[in-house]
Structure formats: structure tokens, C-alpha cells
């Protein structure tokens, strides 16, 4: 039985999906232009447009091919497969080759180049073939359109992956700005270098030719006690340049998914490399701690994971920040790989006073006997601990007829923080 289906038939049927003069080719072009950097933009060929639409069909019209070929299973030359839960026809590389080239062997070889690793689609992680079953032809792999572009082409909204086993990261957000940071002068001076790199890296690396001497990207280590602003600073750096910041908790990945770390990190970096995210690796000690001799499979896996992560970090073109409570926990062999090693100390009395003054909302009043300079001098709290005390005070104030914070509220809040560490407040 002859297969009465061609690229033209598919194109015509796909065009019938247009509503309100919606042009798929224009939509695809606009989305790629907006969400790829200048160096990654290109004009798509007719075959490339067709391939994107072919991969998009299962997401917008699940019964598209079933209407064209009611007895699809009798036509192996078209390829395709059925999903585990998706009951519609899923195009494969074989589907693409047949519709683009039919039985013309020369054209089929030419069409296969659309799936080469150095093709525009693969380099920008737009479209690819899923790995085939063992010992089966490569073209039998399912045609995959990056979920990010499925979202863009259908809704116009930027796609951000959810935290999962395959994507072990969560996006950081903050309502604060650079002016809200309360840090020591030495810390701010070093952070200014990172800000300069974020704002001028294209000029330095490309226009000035420094890419010949420097590795891509920028790597920084933030170290210091908990609650001193490491995570907040990473969030604000992203906000300054309108880049997403994703936090990866290495201790969680290693402890729960040992052996899967490389796979999970590969998914993370593959996504990050296309969107220039800032990557913030929390609890870096989990992988970059002092090395010991290999005693068991756990140690062997850990060494492999460290080597893999180092390789990906060193070749990442964006900003990577590793955070640790103690610099001494990081193996010295790793320290030389950072352009900046920045210490976040506990705030001194001057910084603590600024934190107290900046944290109370204007809607609450402080009792006249409250002496913030004295409180800042007497009680050594981190920035996050001060914010916790302020929140405690605000909750008490909200319960009163008038939103007034009294001395006892602040002292009780400080005492509450001290109890977390089995410390006693000295009145």
C-alpha cells in the first residue's frame, strides 16, 4: 500500500491550524531572535522550519498524524512511535527523513545533517533525537523539541524548569537591591570586580581578544558563617543584569543521588549554557572538601563527580559561585581555579546598626527607650538573625492596638535566636 503522505500535505494541514492570521514561521523566528544571543542567531532554512513544526505537532495537535494515516502501523518507512502515556503518534528521525526526502538516498543523507552535533539545533539545544533503543538505528530516536521552546512557540512565555531529580536546582528571587546589602568594605570591593565582569565581559573577551588567554566564564568562592549574605548577594547580582540565578545544593545531590550526579549536572549545565544563568552551588564542601584515599565505591563515585563538575564549571561561559561556611573545608587544589575568593564575615557593630535601622518597616514605631546603637554593639547577630528578630517584633506589634515595638520585644526576639545555638542572652 502506497503511503499517501508528503511534506507538502503535512505543511498544508499544519497551516490549517492558523488562527487569527497567526503565522508559525514568524512566531518561531521571533522567539529564536529574542531568546538567543546575537552570536547564535541565524536564518532558518525551509527544512529547519519544517523540522521544528514537526516536533511541535504532538504538543498542540496529538491526533494530527492519526487523521492523515488511520493505519499508521502498516507504514514502517514513516517511523514514529507511541509514548507510554501519550496515545498519539510521536515523530522520530525516520519520520523527518521520509517527509523531507522520501526514498531519495542523497536527500536523506543531506537531511540527516540536521541532527549532527555541530548543527545549529544541537549547539543551541533547540531540537534533537532521543537515544534509540540498543542496537537500533539512530534515526529511530524520538524527535525532541526543547520544552523551553515548546513553551515559547505556543505561549510566548519563557520556560523555567521545575526542581526535580533531572533538574536539581531552584531559582533564587529577591525583592532587595544592591543598595540594601550591608557588607564590609573589603567584601564590597571584591564584589565590584564580579559586577564589572558581568557588565563588560563581552568587550573584554571578544572586542579586546582576551579569550585567547582566559578561560570562559568567571568562578567565585563565597565563604563565611551562615546568615552573612552569600545567597542574597548571588540573587542581587543576577537581578542587576536581569539574569536568572539557580541554587544547587550539592550536599542534597550527593547524599541522595550518588551515581546520578553526573547525569543531573549534565541536564543542569545543558540548560544553563543556553540561557546564561548564574549558577550558585551551595554547601560546596560536599564535593570540594578535603580529599581522602579511595576506600569504597562511594569514594570512587565522589572523585568522579568532582572531576566532572570541575570540568563543566571550567568550561561554563557564565558566572559560577560556590558557597561554603568555611574556606578551610575546601581542598587547596581547587582554590586556584577561582578568580575571586570572597569572605563574608559576621557584621561588625556598624554593619549591625545599619541592618537594625534598615530592617524595621516604616509602618511600626519603636519605643523611645530602645537604643539601637547599644543593641548593635552588645549583641553579635548575623544579618539573617537580625531579620528574624525584626520579624518576631513585627508579629508582636501587629497584635497590639498600635504597631509599637518595645524593648522587651527585641530582647525576647534576640533570646529566641540565641536559644537556637544554646546561648544565653546577657541583659
pLDDT single digits (tens) 49-75: 889 989 998 998 888 887 777 654 556
**Final residue of a domain: which of 300, 323, 343?**
343
- The DSSP 8-state label assigned to residue 142 in this structure reads B
Same domain, 354 and 336: no
345 phi/psi in degrees, rounded to 5: -75, 165
Percentage of the chain lying above the pLDDT 70 cut: 81
Nearest to 227, CA basis, from 197, 262, 183: 183
Q: In this predicted structure, what is the pLDDT of residue 320?
A: 95
| Dihedral Cα 52, 58, 59, 62, nearest 10 deg | 150
Same domain, 56 and 89: yes
Instruction: With H, G, I as helix, E, B as strand and everything else as coil, classify residue 342.
Output: strand
**Final residue of a domain: which of 120, 155, 190?**
155
pLDDT score of 269 more than 50: yes
**Final residue of a domain: which of 106, 125, 155?**
155
Same domain, 128 and 251: no
Q: In this predicted structure, what is the pLDDT of residue 1?
A: 40
> How deeply is 255 buried, as exposed, middle or buried, from its count of CB atoms within 10 A (0-12, 13-18, 19+)?
exposed
- The DSSP 8-state label assigned to residue 96 in this structure reads H
pLDDT score of 162 more than 90: no
Scan for cell 542523497, then name that residue: 106
Query: What CATH number is given to the structural domain containing 306?
Result: 3.40.50.300
pLDDT band at 81 (very low <50, low <70, confident <90, very high): confident
CA 282, CA 61: separation in Å to the nearest integer?
A: 42
Mean pLDDT of the chain: 83
Give the distance from CA 405 to its chain's centroid: 40
Number of domains in the chain: 3
Same domain, 109 and 201: no
Same domain, 240 and 318: yes
Query: What CATH number is given to the structural domain containing 385?
Result: 1.10.8.60
394 assigned to some structural domain: yes
pLDDT single digits (tens) 168-210: 788 999 999 999 999 999 999 999 999 999 999 889 888 888 8
Q: Find the angle CA(175)-CA(179)-CA(182) to the nearest 5 degrees.
A: 95
pLDDT score of 211 more than 60: yes
Same domain, 315 and 208: yes
Percentage of the chain lying above the pLDDT 90 cut: 41
Q: In this predicted structure, what is the pLDDT of residue 370?
A: 94
Same domain, 286 and 375: no
pLDDT single digits (tens) 410-426: 999 999 999 887 776 65
pLDDT band at 38 (very low <50, low <70, confident <90, very high): very low
pLDDT single digits (tens) 313-370: 888 999 999 999 888 878 777 888 899 999 999 999 999 999 999 999 999 999 999 9
Residues facing residue 322 across a β-bridge: 221, 281
Nearest to 252, CA basis, from 336, 148, 168, 316: 168
CA 294, CA 275: separation in Å to the nearest integer?
A: 37
Same domain, 225 and 313: yes
143 is in which domain, residue-wise? Answer: 1-155
Scan for cell 569504597, then name that residue: 296
pLDDT score of 42 more than 80: no
Q: In this predicted structure, what is the pLDDT of residue 123?
A: 83
366 phi/psi in degrees, rounded to 5: -100, 135
Same domain, 254 and 193: yes
pLDDT score of 25 more than 80: no
253 assigned to some structural domain: yes
Same domain, 223 and 320: yes
427 assigned to some structural domain: no
364 phi/psi in degrees, rounded to 5: -110, 150
Nearest to 218, CA basis, from 207, 235, 239, 202: 202
Same domain, 27 and 123: yes
Residues facing residue 282 across a β-bridge: 249
Q: In this predicted structure, what is the pLDDT of residue 107?
A: 92
pLDDT single digits (tens) 217-246: 999 999 999 999 999 999 999 999 988 999
175 assigned to some structural domain: yes
pLDDT single digits (tens) 376-400: 999 999 999 999 999 999 999 999 8
161 assigned to some structural domain: no
C-alpha distances in angstroms, 27 versus 37, 100, 148, 150?
17, 22, 14, 12
Mean per-residue pLDDT, 101-123: 90
Same domain, 183 and 127: no
Amino acid at each position: 500500500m502506497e503511503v499517501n503522505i508528503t511534506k507538502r500535505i503535512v505543511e498544508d494541514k499544519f497551516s490549517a491550524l492558523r488562527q487569527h492570521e497567526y503565522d508559525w514561521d514568524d512566531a518561531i523566528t521571533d522567539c529564536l531572535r529574542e531568546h538567543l544571543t546575537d552570536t547564535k542567531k541565524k536564518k532558518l532554512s525551509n527544512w529547519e522550519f519544517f523540522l521544528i513544526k514537526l516536533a511541535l505537532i504532538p504538543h498542540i495537535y496529538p491526533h494530527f498524524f492519526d487523521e492523515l494515516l488511520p493505519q499508521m502501523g502498516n507504514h514502517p518507512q514513516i517511523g514514529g512511535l507511541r509514548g507510554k502515556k501519550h496515545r498519539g503518534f510521536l515523530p522520530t528521525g525516520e519520520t523527518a527523513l521520509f517527509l523531507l526526502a522520501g526514498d531519495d538516498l542523497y536527500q536523506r543523507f543531506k537531511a540527516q545533517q540536521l541532527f549532527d552535533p555541530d548543527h545549529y539545533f544541537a549547539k543551541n539545544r533547540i531540537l534533537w533525537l532521543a537515544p534509540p533503543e540498543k542496537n537500533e538505528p539512530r534515526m529511530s530516536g524520538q524527535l525532541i523539541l526543547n520544552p523551553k521552546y515548546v513553551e515559547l512557540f505556543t505561549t510566548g512565555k519563557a520556560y523555567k524548569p521545575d526542581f526535580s531529580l533531572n533538574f536539581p536546582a531552584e531559582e533564587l528571587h529577591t525583592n532587595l537591591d544592591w543598595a540594601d546589602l550591608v557588607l564590609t568594605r573589603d567584601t564590597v570591593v571584591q564584589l565590584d570586580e564580579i559586577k564589572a565582569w558581568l557588565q563588560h565581559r563581552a568587550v573584554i573577551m571578544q572586542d579586546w581578544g582576551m579569550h585567547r588567554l582566559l578561560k570562559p566564564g568567571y568562578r567565585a568562592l563565597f565563604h563565611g558563617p551562615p546568615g552573612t549574605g552569600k545567597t542574597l548577594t548571588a540573587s542581587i547580582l543576577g537581578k542587576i543584569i536581569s539574569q536568572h540565578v539557580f541554587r544547587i545544593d550539592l550536599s542534597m545531590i550527593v547524599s541522595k543521588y550518588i551515581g546520578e550526579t553526573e547525569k543531573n549536572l549534565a541536564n543542569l549545565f545543558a540548560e544553563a549554557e543556553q540561557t546564561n544563568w548564574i549558577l550558585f552551588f551551595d554547601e560546596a564542601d560536599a564535593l570540594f572538601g578535603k580529599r581522602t584515599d579511595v576506600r569504597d565505591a562511594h569514594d570512587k563515585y565522589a572523585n568522579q563527580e568532582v572531576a566532572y563538575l570541575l570540568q563543566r564549571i571550567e568550561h561554563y561561559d557564565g558566572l559560577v559561585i560556590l558557597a561554603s561556611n568555611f574556606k578551610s573545608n575546601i581542598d587547596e587544589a581547587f582554590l586556584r581555579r577561582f578568580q575571586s575568593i570572597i569572605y563574608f564575615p559576621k557584621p561588625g557593630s556598624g554593619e549591625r546598626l545599619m541592618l537594625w535601622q534598615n530592617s524595621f518597616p516604616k509602618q511600626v514605631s519603636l519605643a523611645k527607650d530602645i537604643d539601637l546603637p547599644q543593641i548593635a554593639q552588645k549583641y553579635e547577630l548575623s544579618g539573617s538573625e537580625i531579620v528574624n528578630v525584626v520579624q518576631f517584633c513585627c508579629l508582636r506589634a501587629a497584635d497590639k492596638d498600635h504597631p509599637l515595638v518595645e524593648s522587651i520585644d527585641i530582647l525576647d526576639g534576640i533570646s529566641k535566636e540565641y536559644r537556637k545555638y544554646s546561648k544565653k542572652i546577657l541583659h
